[in-house]
Chain A
């Protein structure tokens, strides 16, 4: 009798168990890959183009800059090309809408999996401050690299990989090469 009651009360701390149960594990990587592959294939079939991310950043940056310093942007050969004749709104950009979708889709998935949480992600040996500065620094390199390569992991590696683009495959191996080459030196950040 007593042992039954104890067992019962042990099984009761509902709040914590409930919370733990709502955070779902990640999807099997191969399944996630097939899902992602079908999204990419859908883009090819419907639009004749694949996925992207860094291009949308450039469109938004150009738009912001042209608001702050219109003459500077008009005189800059790189941004001028993104600006076009200036009549086109960023809301007419395919990649901008795709990225708004990415943000929405990521958030919906995160909410449903119980993973939406204000948080900061890094290895156990670094401070938040270090993480913020390295995130910014790494992102800067990423942004410049993506511009030089005409795309990032989405537009070049994933999309260009699937259509067997020569430069895209060269790019993809370089990404892994660059990452593995410096991983050892920055291991403190992550492990």
Chain B
């Protein structure tokens, strides 16, 4: 096994920063190409007439997931050295709800607002400031919510491990779930097509 390259010491921190920049360019490129520099396009997801967000997100998840699975299977990549964010179940559910509400009110998420701002969207620029202010407020009130924010800590846990199902079976289930959601998305876009403004 030689990957992840950085974890196997193939290069140092500085080179890592160069890769960060290049990978970021790819990330920003595909977000913009998908139409995610537009709040109307992003929020259309919640009004069901344009399901691009769901399609892009789940295609990306499935692609990267299967790629990881394949590279691990052929012995190229050590999955245990890929970072997984630890699970704090309740804070992540509540945080997710807040994020979803913020998404439909504000029109972007942090990553897409950078693309919006860099392509000239003034609401995207205001959004960037709002995210920054929200984080500032969070930092200021952190001591009073710390016990909740660190509650239901389950450590680094992945779905196959938690439910005792094999990794490949979970991958298969995700693929089928994604296909099911894509079919629903295509149906929904036809059914709610007349909600599209203008």
Contact = CB atoms under 8 A, between A and B. Distances in A.
Given A33-B57, A47-B6, A39 B122 contact: no
Contacts of A134: 105-107
A164 B160 contact: yes
Contacts of B79: 163
B111 interface: yes
B89 A167 contact: yes
Majority DSSP secondary structure for residues of A touching B = helix
Nearest to A51: B27
A104 interface: yes
Interface in B156-177: 156-160, 162, 167, 170-171, 174
B119 to A, nearest CB: 4
A57 B132 CA distance: 6
A101 B29 CA distance: 9
Interface of B: 3-7, 13, 16-35, 37-41, 43-47, 51-52, 55-65, 67-68, 71, 77, 79, 81-89, 91-124, 126-140, 142-143, 145-146, 149, 154, 156-160, 162, 167, 170-171, 174, 182, 195-198
A75 B91 CA distance: 24
B134 A141 contact: yes
A106 B171 CA distance: 30
B138 A183 contact: no
A148 B43 contact: no
Contact of A102 (B24, B45, B149): B24
Contacts of B62: 33, 37
A144 B100 CA distance: 12
Contact of A167 (B32, B86, B99): B86
B85 A156 contact: yes
A177 B39 contact: no
25 contacts: A35-B30, A41-B63, A48-B83, A58-B135, A97-B18, A100-B21, A101-B26, A105-B31, A106-B37, A108-B25, A113-B33, A116-B120, A121-B39, A122-B40, A122-B107, A138-B108, A142-B103, A143-B134, A147-B134, A158-B61, A164-B160, A164-B174, A167-B157, A190-B44, A190-B197
Given A105-B26, A148-B95, 13 more contacts: A29-B34, A36-B34, A37-B61, A65-B136, A102-B115, A102-B118, A106-B32, A106-B118, A122-B123, A140-B133, A141-B105, A170-B89, A174-B99
